[in-house]
């Protein structure tokens, strides 16, 4: 009996010593709600967007959207998540019912988020003006990741610190920036 007890405690110790640190940093999540239960918005190819202000600093590792959707005829909704007008995720949701139902879409991403950044949830689809899709209800956008961690933009240090680079032509500008010659 003593051997079983010793083995149990040894296995428990190993689980704490080796498995728990494998989970990495503690995760944090930020959820933004939007929409109304009293009306719905048609969704066309031009789309509909809601903007939010980031409340925390994190390295975003996952996004999840819960959207109440319906379609007069079948179609695919595209949900695009942006941080400061930079797309970090596009998720698709096929809908073929005309009753509003919750759909959850998620994606694994890697993106920086700073408190005060603009977060955009944009939904659009290939729906005609005759048979549109729609969104209504209280919808949610959740961003999860590691708190306080930021990625360094690739190559930024090369162009930011080395002022000897030649930026006289558009192809020499970092990140696709252009120079108009003035």
List the chain pLDDT tens, one digit each, 182 residues.
555 555 454 444 444 444 344 445 579 999 999 998 888 888 888 889 999 999 999 999 999 999 999 998 888 999 999 999 999 999 999 999 999 999 999 999 999 999 999 999 999 987 666 667 899 999 999 999 999 877 665 444 433 333 333 334 344 333 333 333 33
Q: Quick one: 58 exposed, middle or buried, by C-beta within 10 A (0-12, 13-18, 19+)?
A: buried
d(CA 27, CA 147): 7
- Residue 111, H or E segment: strand 101-113
Going from the N-terminus, what domains does the chain have, and what CATH number goes with each? 26-152 (2.60.120.260)
């Amino acid at each position: 009996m003593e051997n079983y007890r010793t083995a149990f405690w040894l296995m428990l110790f190993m689980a704490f010593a080796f498995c728990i640190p494998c989970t990495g940093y503690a995760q944090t999540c930020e959820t933004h709600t939007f929409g109304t239960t009293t009306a719905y918005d048609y969704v066309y190819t031009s789309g509909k967007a809601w903007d939010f202000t980031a409340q925390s600093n994190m390295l975003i590792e996952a996004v999840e959207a819960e959207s109440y959707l319906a379609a007069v005829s079948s179609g695919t909704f595209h949900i695009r998540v942006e941080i400061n007008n930079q797309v970090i995720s596009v998720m698709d949701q096929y809908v073929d019912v005309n009753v509003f139902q919750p759909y959850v879409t998620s994606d694994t991403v890697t993106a920086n988020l700073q408190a005060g950044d603009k977060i955009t949830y944009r939904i659009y689809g290939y729906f005609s003006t005759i048979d549109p899709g729609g969104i209504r209800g209280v919808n949610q956008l959740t961003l999860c990741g590691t708190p306080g961690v930021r990625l360094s933009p690739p190559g930024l240090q090369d162009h930011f610190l080395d002022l000897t680079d030649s930026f006289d032509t558009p192809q020499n500008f970092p990140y696709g920036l252009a120079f108009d010659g003035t």
